[in-house]
Structure 1
Amino acid sequence: MLMCVFLFLLWLIFNGRVTLEICLFGIVVTGLVYAFCVAVLGYHPRNERRVLGRLGRYLQYGVTLVWEIVKANVQTMKVILSPKAAYRPAVVRLQVPLEEASSRVLLSNSITLTPGTVTIRQQEEEFLVLCLDKDGGEAIPDWNLVRILKKLEGSK
């Protein structure tokens, strides 16, 4: 049900105006897309309850990610603008014990979004990360974002 409301609101936003015809056509399109998701993509309404239960942690993850990006931007600017090169670029191999594939992908993308680090490869629990500073790269398994993802996995 929540997905239907979301899809309908998305329909209205993309159309840019609200008329009776747009609303009626939007209800039909929303129903068809929802039926497709259930039949073909394996979507189940109980997933909505799980997402709603985890919503607070997802918001916490998003806020923490933005804060980590800001901190990394400042650190990267300090390194770049420093007259002395006080950094050690390296490719670091890390083991991050996350159970769900979606958590690992989210972490991989978060690493790449953070300035000074790029995920080169991710296979199961192993991450290969190019980082501007080796010490920063080796600290990723103890990162706040990893702790939040572990909490998210624990709240199945």
Structure 2
Amino acid sequence: MFLLFFLLWLLLSGGVSLHACLWGLAVSALLTWFCRRVLGYDWRIFCGHPARIWALIRYFAHLVAEMLKAGLMVMKIIYVHPKKITPKLVWFRTPLQTDRHKAMLSDSITLTAGTITVRSQDGRLLVHALDAPLAEGIEDTAFQQQLEKMEGTQWRR
């Protein structure tokens, strides 16, 4: 966790200098201490088994690809057929059990252009889609299938 904070500090500082590195070390140490002691975070919760890391990498790669595809679809909807937009609200039940995976599904839907998760209640999600075709098949997305596999494995927390 410390290394990630430090790398983020260097990325955001805009350059590598002795001054930036010293401040980055201090701030990273403070944030790491805060996350572990006060918030109770443990690095093993996020990483754990190597297969879990690989599953997360595949999931986020798929998420980026879907974000790009959805962005292109939304651009087409807006620029080619702006008068034919038919927004739609869709309720669907998710079989995911853990709150962490439900939140990942909800955030993944929101991150893809043209859809937003409006509400999560009793294992159901309410999704607003910019256009009806964007809402098709949202009940059984690839995101949900991947999260179900990740949730059903024995190396989960």
User: Do Structure 1 and Structure 2 share a fold, with TM-score over 0.5?
Assistant: yes
Distance 1:148 1:118 in 2: 20
Distance 1:110 1:52 in 2: 23
Q: Identify unmatched segments of 5+ residues in structure 1.
A: none
Shift in Å at residue 11 of structure 1? 3.3
Structure whose CA Rg is larger? 1
2:45 to 41, 44, 47: 47
Shift in Å at residue 110 of structure 1? 1.8
Distance 1:110 1:48 in 2: 18
After superposition, residues 3-152 of structure 1 pair within 5 angstroms as 3-15=1-13, 16-19=15-18, 23-47=21-45, 49-50=47-48, 53-80=51-78, 81-82=80-81, 85=84, 88-134=86-132, 136-152=134-150
Shift in Å at residue 105 of structure 1? 1.7
TM-score, normalised with respect to structure 1: 0.76
In the superposition, relative to structure 1, how do residues 141 and 31 fare at CA in structure 2: closer, same or farther (>3 Å)?
same
Q: Identify unmatched segments of 5+ residues in structure 2.
A: none
Distance 2:45 2:23 in 1: 26
* Counterpart residue identity of residue 140, structure 2: D
1:92–1:134 Cα contact (<8 Å) kept: no
Q: Aligned pairs, how many?
A: 152
1:7–1:30 Cα contact (<8 Å) kept: yes
Distance 1:38 1:79 in 2: 46
Residues 52-92 of structure 1, C-alpha deviations (whole Å, 9 max, x = no match): 5422222211221222223323434444424984x753211
TM-score, normalised with respect to structure 2: 0.75
